[in-house]
Structure 1
Amino acid sequence: MLARQRQERIAELVRRHGSIRVGALTERFGVSHMTIRRDLESLARQGHLDKVHGGAVTAEHGSTKEPAFGEKRSREVTAKEAIAAAAARLVAPGSAVALTAGTTTWTLARHLLDIPDITVVTNSLRAAQTLEANRRQTQTVVLTGGVRTPSDALVGPVAVAALASLRVDVLFMGVHGMDVRTGFSTPNLEEAETNRAMCRSTRRVVVLADHTKWDTPGLATIAALEAADLLITDSGIEAHARDALEAGVGELTVVEPAAPTRPTESVRT
């Protein structure tokens, strides 16, 4: 494969997944780490991606850029489904849970529809809409209110005030990024404040984050890694990141995404 063709493929992978590691690219293309780093440097100069330590992210994934919900929804779909399914198994009938905004927590909302007698507190318009449109009669949905962000989160003083009087059994929190120094982070300052209020309102914090969130810090820290009682991620997480998370969070669960299904081929006789 020519360098130009390989770089086009790399740029497409980063656009599709949001981020990618050098190690994954060397395995995929069968070239050296040095070759991949040169490819990433070339693509970064052309504005196709942002080069970060150990890999690359899409150019719009800077620390202050907040991707829209629709943009994030199509990324890492199978990983998010596996993470959400594992999270739903933690929810007992009759419990009170909180969901922050995000595409993984929105995926979890769909998995909560068959759990009876639960109360769901959320600042996610998308999660609330999903639950309200499909909820059973025995479920209660509490939407915090606040100012709407590009990711369809309700944030700010109104949301924080609403959360101050609530106490839930478990919070499921999605994040923009995570690393050892920054902890769990988001590009939006008010969303970070609102998520911190959610952390104060719960007995247990469960973070839902697919492997692309590692080493992709946002502008504002929500909490240190140690604040997570449990982190659920997928098997795409690299070994060094897994080690760092195991040392930081209370408990780490790694799930295996389902393999994509292939269309059935019709056979003419």
Structure 2
Amino acid sequence: MLARQRQELIARAVDEHGGIRVSELVAELNVSDMTIRRDIETLARKGVVRKVHGGATRADRSADEPGFTAKSEMNPLQKSEIARTTASLISPGSSVAISAGTTAYAVAQELRGIKRLTVVTNSPPVAELLFDPDENDRLVVLTGGVRTPSDALVGPVANEMLATVHVDTLILGVHGIDIDAGLTTPNLQEAQTNRALIRTAKRVVVVADHSKWGTVGLLTIATLDKVDTLVTDAELDDEARRELSKRDINLVIASRDDASPVER
């Protein structure tokens, strides 16, 4: 197969699914890892796809909204590290709001071991994960609303319910983070519901891997001054760290299995 043909197939797969991993392309196209990475680099230079750790996603377009499944396949190691570190910030007996999104979902997986939690979420996958009819000391509250491609419940029903909620901590996943644009999303209704989630919380913890830095969605959810803590992975670049250090944000670099979280 010619390079042009491979690249057309890669571009089509990314456009259809929102993202794809190098390992999947190696198996499907029966070529080397290095060949696929070169193809992705070529497509990225042309602006056809965005190169990320382990694969490629759609090129940055502010209104693009990849689905939950596509996003869950990207940067799984970093999301796992972020999830474990974020869970260590939550105490037994806390009330926690959890937004939709694959990184927030990974955090929810780690929270299952924490006792006496009250969880409010607009994510059906998170609610399904945490609800256990045999678990008497965990309360899970799922907002109503209209479902988005990222599997969030949004809109007036969700916003009205959240208007009367008060929690200790919000764990917020985002589409992108930018110094000027702040926290962003491609979905109008999700932006509004995420603002409602922010208003519920005494502490806002944003969970986002390094690939979210510099990504700007169609709408701003909130400016960075609304963020108390950002938990990200060690691949966040130095320039981003310097920019965040100028703001009153607790930057926590997620740890590997054998290390402790690093606060900046």
TM-score range, shorter chain: 0.7 to 0.9
Stretch of structure 1 that moved more, 241-250 or 110-119: 241-250
Q: What's the offset of the Cα at 1:64?
A: 0.5
Q: What's the offset of the Cα at 1:60?
A: 5.4
Equivalence for 2:128: 129
Structure 2 SS opposite 1:195: helix
Q: Distance in 2 between matches of 1:142 and 1:202?
A: 15
Q: What's the offset of the Cα at 1:238?
A: 0.7
Is 1:240 the counterpart of 2:239 in the alignment?
Answer: yes
Equivalence for 2:155: 156
Equivalence for 2:252: 253
Alignment check: 8 A CA contact 1:231 1:249 kept: no
- Structure 1 residues 69, 134: closer, same or farther in 2, change over 3 A? farther
Q: What's the offset of the Cα at 1:247?
A: 2.0
Alignment check: 8 A CA contact 1:227 1:249 kept: no
Equivalence for 1:199: 198
Matches within 5 A, 1:54-73: 58-59=57-58, 61-73=60-72
CA RMSD of aligned residues (A): 3.2
Give the letter for the 1:236 counterpart: E
- Cα deviation code 1:136-194 (max 9, x no counterpart): 22100000110000011000010000000110000000000001111000100110100
Alignment check: 8 A CA contact 1:179 1:214 kept: yes
Q: What's the offset of the Cα at 1:93?
A: 1.1
Q: What's the offset of the Cα at 1:248?
A: 3.0
- Structure 1 residues 189, 249: closer, same or farther in 2, change over 3 A? farther
Q: Distance in 1 between matches of 2:74 and 2:179?
A: 23
Alignment check: 8 A CA contact 1:211 1:236 kept: yes
Q: What's the offset of the Cα at 1:66?
A: 0.7
Matches within 5 A, 1:191-230: 191-230=190-229
- Name the TM-score, length of structure 1 as normaliser: 0.77
Give the letter for the 1:43 counterpart: K
Alignment check: 8 A CA contact 2:121 2:127 kept: yes
- Structure 1 residues 252, 134: closer, same or farther in 2, change over 3 A? farther
Alignment check: 8 A CA contact 2:230 2:251 kept: yes
Alignment check: 8 A CA contact 2:20 2:73 kept: no
Is 1:43 the counterpart of 2:46 in the alignment?
Answer: yes
Alignment check: 8 A CA contact 1:187 1:220 kept: yes
Q: Distance in 2 between matches of 1:254 and 1:76?
A: 15
Q: Which runs of 5+ in 1 are unaligned?
A: 18-28, 30-37, 52-56, 260-269
Equivalence for 1:85: 84
Q: What's the offset of the Cα at 1:133?
A: 4.5
Q: Which runs of 5+ in 2 are unaligned?
A: 23-33, 35-40, 259-264
Q: Distance in 1 between matches of 2:83 and 2:58?
A: 27
Q: Distance in 1 between matches of 2:77 and 2:257?
A: 6
Equivalence for 2:180: 181
- Cα deviation code 1:240-268 (max 9, x no counterpart): 01111222352101124469xxxxxxxxx
Alignment check: 8 A CA contact 1:113 1:135 kept: no
Q: Distance in 2 between matches of 1:42 and 1:72?
A: 22
Q: Distance in 2 between matches of 1:127 and 1:163?
A: 17
- Name the TM-score, length of structure 2 as normaliser: 0.78
- Structure 1 residues 94, 242: closer, same or farther in 2, change over 3 A? same
Equivalence for 1:99: 98
